[in-house]
Amino acid sequence: MGFPNGFTDEPQKSLLSKARGIGSSALRFRGGTLFREAEKAPKPEFVYSTPQVNINPFTPDSLEIQSSAGLCRGRKRALLNDSCGEDMEGSDCELEDEDIRPAKRIPITESNMKSRYATEFHELEKIGSGEFGSVFKCVKRLDGCIYAIKRSKKPLAGSVDEQNALREVYAHAVLGQHPHVVRYYSAWAEDDHMLIQNEYCNGGSLSDVISENYRTMQYFTEPELKDLLLQVARGLKYIHSMSLVHMDIKPSNIFISRTTLPNTAVEEADDEECGSGKVIYKIGDLGHVTRVSSPQVEEGDSRFLANEVLQENYTHLAKADIFALALTVWSAAGAEPFPTNGDQWHEIRQGKLPRVPQLLSQEFVDLIKLMISPDPEKRPSSVALVKHSVLLSASRKSAEQLRIELDAEKFKNALLQKELKKAQIAKAAAEERAHFPDRIATRSTTQNNRTTRLIGKKMNRSVSLTIY
């Protein structure tokens, strides 16, 4: 008879049981009392097994867990010898507290399960692909909700990518509870591949929106740019408050959640940490996250990489996130795709912004320039950004005010598009006159002849009478 979860009849030792070291030969709790199996030696002796658990380096208590050597081990052994079978109070250092001492990092192969992906999820479509793996839109069979599941492309066990994959899981587990960070639900391994179950963002990535805007020549307006900058800065503020840095902020790692709530519900739900209107931006892809102290830096996309990181100066890592955020916002403003190297790459690192096809306020442009300052100490922190006067005014506006401003900006852009089309037509006509003067002269003569026939010869002249 099979188990209802689709696994085999053979009981698999779960990661939890491995971590607690509980097996057929270990001690067991029953009704708050500690018992030993009947077939064991008559004299009770505390049995220690090496728990197999990973240590998450991003949690504040990771050092405490690593150094925990069972401070009350001797006390517990004495209690077991003297009063085995008697009730033990929780203050007497419970078994679970002592059995969390880690031995070594668990490779992905040791936590493999049967196909949980096929058992628990129904795959709808592939929604993304990157260097690490592919992302699928899935429905969980049990709760009927949609999730994004990221699966590594290559087997990871024993490879150089295994540590990076585990780092992403660690970071998601610690940082996945903020409105502007993609929410994390679960992670597991199948056939040496890592799978991560995350929140599904129905608006896709910011990179997708920028690509579509570039194609249609419709760009983020200044109010939208300020909203984008403010929301992502709030996400970075949260990450930095945990003494962590993202190290790979770019449009493809910013995801969009479009709420379907009515306008009134959205306005009531808006608070200091949420976005304006119906669009919420979330930071995702945490594979490059590292600690501010003792960092292990994995360089991200060179197009958004601060120069000091390239020079292996890691004293201002949080400011590298600010630099990348500035270029992300500037890309949404309509800038040409950034170079991966070369003269323009160095010009940007010197504080020179590329041109954008729209007029933005000087105060906003100055803020973006400050964020890419060659001196990282001059760049504002994420805490300063969320309180900046240029962005604070936008955050305090009501959704209705923002909609009015957005409509006005769209109308202005429509007029500019119309003028641009006229200019393009005039330019095309000028180029035609320059390249084909004979054709233009013939066309002009024909038009003059038509006019002569209409006005002279047999045509009746108009007569104007004035009556006083």
Q: Judge whether 137 is annotated as a binding position.
A: no
Q: Judge whether 348 is annotated as a binding position.
A: no
- How many whole angstroms separate alpha carbon 99 and alpha carbon 387? 45
- By annotation, the residues acting in catalysis are 248
Amino acid in position 242? M
Here the CATH number for the domain that contains residue 225 is 1.10.510.10
Q: Judge whether 241 is annotated as a binding position.
A: no
pLDDT > 60? residue 98? no
- Let me know whether 167 and 192 are in one domain: yes
User: 145-154, pLDDT tens digit by residue?
Assistant: 999 999 988 8
Q: Judge whether 395 is annotated as a binding position.
A: no
Other Cβ atoms closer than 10 A to 228:
24
User: Among 4-8, 67-71, 105-109, 291-295, where is mean pLDDT lowest?
Assistant: 4-8
Here the CATH number for the domain that contains residue 162 is 3.30.200.20
- Let me know whether 441 and 360 are in one domain: no
User: 433-462, pLDDT tens digit by residue?
Assistant: 777 766 656 666 655 655 555 555 555 555
Centroid of chain to Cα 431: 47
Q: Judge whether 135 is annotated as a binding position.
A: yes
Q: Judge whether 2 is annotated as a binding position.
A: no
- How many whole angstroms separate alpha carbon 322 and alpha carbon 367? 11
- Let me know whether 380 and 441 are in one domain: no
pLDDT > 80? residue 71? no
- Let me know whether 356 and 236 are in one domain: yes
- Let me know whether 225 and 317 are in one domain: yes
As for how many domains the chain has, the answer is: 4
Is residue 237 one of the residues assigned to a domain? yes
- Let me know whether 318 and 363 are in one domain: yes
Helix pair 399-435, 222-241: axis angle to 10 deg: 120
Is residue 290 one of the residues assigned to a domain? yes
Domain-terminating residue out of 357, 372, 397: 397
Average pLDDT of the residues in 278-284: 93
Is residue 458 one of the residues assigned to a domain? no
- Let me know whether 232 and 160 are in one domain: no
Q: Judge whether 150 is annotated as a binding position.
A: yes
0.75 surpassed by pTM: no
69 pLDDT tier (thresholds 50, 70, 90): very low
Average pLDDT of the residues in 188-196: 89
- Let me know whether 296 and 153 are in one domain: no
Is residue 189 one of the residues assigned to a domain? yes
User: Across all residues in the chain, what is the average pLDDT?
Assistant: 76
Q: Judge whether 300 is annotated as a binding position.
A: no
- Let me know whether 46 and 188 are in one domain: no
Domain boundaries, position 341: 206-397
Q: Judge whether 29 is annotated as a binding position.
A: no
Q: Judge whether 287 is annotated as a binding position.
A: no
User: 298-341, pLDDT tens digit by residue?
Assistant: 888 999 999 999 999 999 999 999 999 999 999 999 999 999 99
- Let me know whether 345 and 294 are in one domain: yes
Is residue 23 one of the residues assigned to a domain? yes
- Give a three-class secondary structure readout of the chain: CCCCCCCCCCCCCCHHHHHHCCCCCCCEEECCEEECCCCCCCCCCCCCCCCCCCCCCCCCCHHHHHHCCCCCHHHHHHHHHHHCCCECCHHHCCHHHHCCCCCCCCCHHHHECCCHHHHHEEEEEEEEECCCEEEEEEEECCCCCEEEEEEECCCCCCCCHHHHHHHHHHHHHHHCCCCCECCEEEEEEECCEEEEEEECCCCCEHHHHHHHHHHHCCCCCHHHHHHHHHHHHHHHHHHHHCCEECCCCCHHHEEEEECCCCHHHHHHHCCCCCCCCCEEEEECCCCCCEECCCCCCCCCCHHHCCHHHHCCCCCCHHHHHHHHHHHHHHHHCCCCCCCCCCHHHHHHHCCCCCCCCCCCCHHHHHHHHHHCCCCHHHCCCHHHHHCCHHHHHHHHCCHHHHHHHHHHHHHHHHHHHHHHHHHHHHHHHHHHHHHCHHHHHHHHHHHHHHHHHHHCCCCCCCCCCCCC
- C-alpha distances out from residue 161 to 74, 166, 423, Å: 41, 9, 53
Q: Judge whether 134 is annotated as a binding position.
A: yes
Is residue 87 one of the residues assigned to a domain? yes
What does residue 246 show for φ and ψ, rounded to 5 degrees? -80, -50
Domain-terminating residue out of 141, 174, 199: 199
- How many whole angstroms separate alpha carbon 36 and alpha carbon 43? 10
- Let me know whether 31 and 134 are in one domain: no
- Let me know whether 356 and 219 are in one domain: yes
**Higher pLDDT residue, 158 or 91?**
158
Is residue 465 one of the residues assigned to a domain? no
Domain-terminating residue out of 397, 413, 442: 397
What percent of the chain stands above pLDDT 70? 63
Is residue 2 one of the residues assigned to a domain? no
